[in-house]
Structure 1
């Protein structure tokens, strides 16, 4: 068994779990705070399907955007450790750069989604999407979730 491959594989798995948890936290807290939907946790606990649809759409959109950052990080790991011994200092340096790169990607992705969603809400005058979603109206939640997914697909590298 190749120990280097095992260590790199375990590092990829740990990194993927951390990025997933960080992305969920960012989508659940940061993105929804920027969008003005942070106070919807109680409504989600009460079974407001519209809020759930909106949050699910934001998670999918953020996942689409962050996938490329994670894949690029994994490719860098593969290139760095191809036919080379794995050292803790090199793995530590890669971890620091990876966290910075993916962290910045998370912030930029959340900002793009928040700004795009804000712009869409400004373009639909006469409809207060967030008020309708808080009332439990699923239609604007589906539209907002679709807007976020389309933004992610259009802005992803």
Structure 2
């Protein structure tokens, strides 16, 4: 039984790491699309702190949401083990837990895109992306706050899904 739990734990860890790296890659790619005229990699190489703040906020936001999805996956696998992981009920529980994690990734990336797009529309007097390219740290902090706040709210929704599945 102990060996089985260790193996299941290792599988969960590897699965979570793979999905986390994938989600961070997707998040960085989406940020590149949102920021249009900014080459984040070049700006980071030049030492643009403002761009670094926003990139870091995107990574933190994705991690916040994914963490709740990974917790749901762990709970789902534990429940599936109790039911019999290869029984129809066990497989359904694992499937729902994986779905929840994937949903969390999609929601985090989508919410970041939506939040930055709406912020850009709401603040007509400030062109956030142009200011970001100039290295405006105040604008970067504003954007980072919006990104993390939205992720925090999305995380609550993913946790709610976990509670419903438990």
TM-score range, shorter chain: 0.7 to 0.9
Aligned-residue offset at 1:101: 3.9
Q: Residue 110 of structure 1 aligns to a residue in which SS?
A: helix
- Is the Cα–Cα contact under 8 Å of residues 23 and 106 in structure 1 kept in the other structure? yes
| TM-score, scaled to structure 2 | 0.79
Mean alpha-carbon deviation: is it higher for 29-38 or for 108-117? 29-38
Aligned-residue offset at 1:92: 8.8
- Is the Cα–Cα contact under 8 Å of residues 38 and 133 in structure 2 kept in the other structure? no
- Structure 1 runs not aligned, ≥5 long: none
- Structure 2 runs not aligned, ≥5 long: 157-166
Match of 1:142 in 2: 141
Matched, 1:68 2:68: yes
Mapped to 2, the partners of 1:7 and 1:38 lie a distance apart of 44
Q: Residue 39 of structure 2 aligns to a residue in which SS?
A: helix
Aligned-residue offset at 1:110: 0.9
List per-residue Cα deviations over 1:9-59 (Å, max 9, x = no partner).
111110121122112112211244245376221111111111100000111
- Is the Cα–Cα contact under 8 Å of residues 50 and 141 in structure 1 kept in the other structure? yes
Match of 2:47 in 1: 47
Match of 2:110 in 1: 111
Higher relative contact order (CA 8 A, sep 6+): 1
Q: Residue 126 of structure 1 aligns to a residue in which SS?
A: coil
- Is the Cα–Cα contact under 8 Å of residues 133 and 140 in structure 1 kept in the other structure? yes
RMSD: 2.7
For these two proteins, the number of residue pairs brought into alignment is: 155
